[in-house]
Amino acid sequence: MAQRDALGPYRAGRQLTRKPSRKPRTAPQQDAADAGELATRLQHSFENPDLLDRALTHASATPVSGPDNERMEFLGDRVLGLVIADELLKRFPSAEEGEMAPRLNKLVRRETCADVARDIGLGRFLHLAPAEVAQGGREKTAILANAMEAVIAAIYMDGGLDPARVFILSAWDKAFDAVAQIPRDAKTVLQEQLHTLGLTHPRYSVVGQQGSDHAPVFEVEVNAGSAGIARGTGPSKRTAEQAAASALLTKLENDT
Chain segment 89-133, per-residue pLDDT in tens: 999 888 877 778 888 988 999 999 999 999 999 999 999 999 999
pLDDT-wise least confident of 15-24, 75-84, 178-187: 15-24
Residue 10, pLDDT > 60, answer: no
Mean pLDDT across the chain, nearest whole number?
A: 83
Spot the catalytic one: 68, 73, 77, 158: 77
Residue 149 bears catalytic tag: yes
For 234, phi then psi, to 5°, come to: -175, 165
* Least confident residue range of 21-30, 52-61, 72-81, 244-253: 21-30
Of the spans 7-11, 88-92, 147-151, which averages the highest pLDDT? 147-151
- List every span in the chain annotated with CATH 1.10.1520.10: 2-178
Least confident stretch, 28-32, 85-89, 149-153, 169-173: 28-32
Confidence of residue 165 (pLDDT cuts 50, 70, 90): very high
The architecture in CATH of the region 186-255 reads 2-Layer Sandwich (3.30)
Q: How far apart are CA 20 and CA 68, in angstroms?
A: 12
Q: Which class in CATH covers the domain with range 2-178?
A: mainly alpha
What pTM does this model have?
0.63
**DSSP per-residue string spanning the chain:** -HHHHHTHHHHHTTTTPPPPPSSPPPPPPTTSPPHHHHHHHTT---SSHHHHHHHTB-GGGS-TT---SHHHHHHHHHHHHHHHHHHHHHH-TT--HHHHHHHHHHHHSHHHHHHHHHHTTGGGG-B--HHHHHTTGGG-HHHHHHHHHHHHHHHHHHH-HHHHHHHHHHHTHHHHHHT-SPPPPHHHHHHHHHHHTTPPPPEEEEEEEEE-SSSEEEEEEEE-GGG-EEEEEESSHHHHHHHHHHHHHHHHHHH-
Residue 72's φ and ψ, nearest 5 degrees, are -70, -35
Which residues in the chain are classed under CATH 3.30.160.20? 186-255
Catalytic pick among 115, 149, 158, 241: 149
Length of the chain: 256
Q: Quick check: is 241 catalytic? A: no
With a pLDDT cut of 90, the percent of the chain lying above it is: 48
- pLDDT cut 70: percent of the chain above it: 84
Confidence at 12, pLDDT banded by 50, 70, 90: very low
- 215-233 exposure pattern, b = at least 16 Cβ within 10 A, e = fewer: eeebbbbbebeebeebebb
Q: Which pLDDT belongs to residue 88?
A: 94
